[in-house]
Amino acid sequence: MIESGNRIPSVGIKLVTVAGVEDTTSDAALGQGTVVLFSVPGAFTPTCHVNHLPGFVANAAKMRASGVDRIVCAATNDHHVMKAWAEATNALDDIVFLADGNTALAQALGLDKDMSGTGLGRRFARAAMIIRDGIVDAVFVEDAPGVTASGAPAILMALEAAA
C-alpha cells in the first residue's frame, strides 16, 4: 500500500470536471499543488453517496482555506457513471471525479479491495490521502465499515494540524 513519502504512480485515468471528461494520467491529475484524494467503493452506493462525498462538498471551502488546490474523488466506476454521480450531487463546482474503471490506479496504490462477495468485484478501498506536489503526505484508510478516518472532518483536522 502507498505510504507517506511515496510518489503518486502514473496510470491512465479519466477525469470528470466542469469542463467535461478528459483522458489523463494519475500523476498529471494529482501531481501539482496540494491535493486531497478520497476513494470510495462506488458511486451512488449508500455510504459513499450519503456519508462520504457530501462531507467533502460541505467542507470544500475550508479545505481550500487550508491550502488545498484540488479535491478529487476516485472510484472504480466508468466515467459515465462518475459524471452522472457528479451531476446528481451538484458536486462538480467543488470536486473533481476520477474514474478508474479498470482498477489500475487502485491497484497501483495498493488500495484495491475484493468486494466480489457483495457482487461489486474489485473496488477502491475507502480511503483518503493528502498529496503535495505528487508526493503522498498522509494516508487514511478505513479499517471498518463507515466513514471516520477518511471522512472530510478527519482530513480537515490533518490539514489544519500540518499548517
Q: Alpha-carbon distance 58 to 83, whole Å?
A: 19
Supply the pLDDT for residue 108: 98
Among residues 48, 71, 95, 129, the one annotated as catalytic is 48
The 3-state secondary structure of 42-74 reads: CCCCHHHHHHHHHHHHHCHHHHHHCCCCEEEEE
- pLDDT classification of 123: cutoffs 50, 70, 90: confident
73 is catalytic: no
- pLDDT classification of 47: cutoffs 50, 70, 90: confident
Instruction: Residue 6: count other Cβ atoms within 10 Å of its Cβ.
Output: 16
Give the pTM.
0.95
Q: What's the CATH number for 12-162?
A: 3.40.30.10
Instruction: Residue 118: count other Cβ atoms within 10 Å of its Cβ.
Output: 10
